[in-house]
A and B are shown apart, each in its own frame.
Chain A
Amino acid sequence: DTAVSQTPKYLVTQMGNDKSIKCEQNLGHDTMYWYKQDSKKFLKIMFSYNNKELIINETVPNRFSPKSPDKAHLNLHINSLELGDSAVYFCASSSLPGANVLTFGAGSRLTVL
Chain B
Amino acid sequence: AQSVTQLGSHVSVSEGALVLLRCNYSSSVPPYLFWYVQYPNQGLQLLLKYTSAATLVKGINGFEAEFKKSETSFHLTKPSAHMSDAAEYFCAVSDRQAGTALIFGKGTTLSVSS
Chain A interface (Cβ < 8 Å from any Cβ of B):
4, 33, 40-45, 48, 50, 55-56, 90, 92, 96-107
Contacts and interface: CB of A to CB of B under 8 A. Distances in A.
B98 to A, nearest CB: 4
Interface of B: 32, 34, 36, 38, 41-46, 49, 51, 88, 90, 94-104, 106-107
Given A41-B88, A41-B106, A99-B32, A104 B98 contact: no
B58 to A, nearest CB: 15
A97 B43 CA distance: 20
B100 A98 contact: yes
Given A41-B88, A99-B94, A99-B97, 10 more contacts: A40-B106, A42-B104, A43-B104, A43-B107, A48-B99, A48-B101, A56-B100, A98-B99, A99-B100, A104-B44
Nearest to A6: B43
A4 B90 CA distance: 20
Nearest to B109: A41
21 contacts: A41-B38, A42-B106, A43-B44, A43-B90, A43-B104, A44-B104, A45-B101, A45-B102, A48-B101, A55-B99, A90-B44, A97-B98, A98-B97, A98-B98, A98-B99, A99-B94, A99-B95, A99-B96, A102-B46, A102-B102, A105-B43
A92 B34 CA distance: 15
Contacts of B107: 41-43
B43 A50 contact: no
Nearest to B34: A101
B98 A96 contact: yes
Most B CB within 10 A of own CB, among A56, A99, A103: A99
Nearest to B31: A99
Instruction: For the complex of A and B, list the 6 residue pairs with the smallest distance between their C-beta atoms, beginning with the closest.
Output: A98-B100, A104-B43, A43-B104, A45-B101, A97-B98, A104-B44
B99 A104 contact: no
A33 B44 CA distance: 13
A56 B101 contact: yes
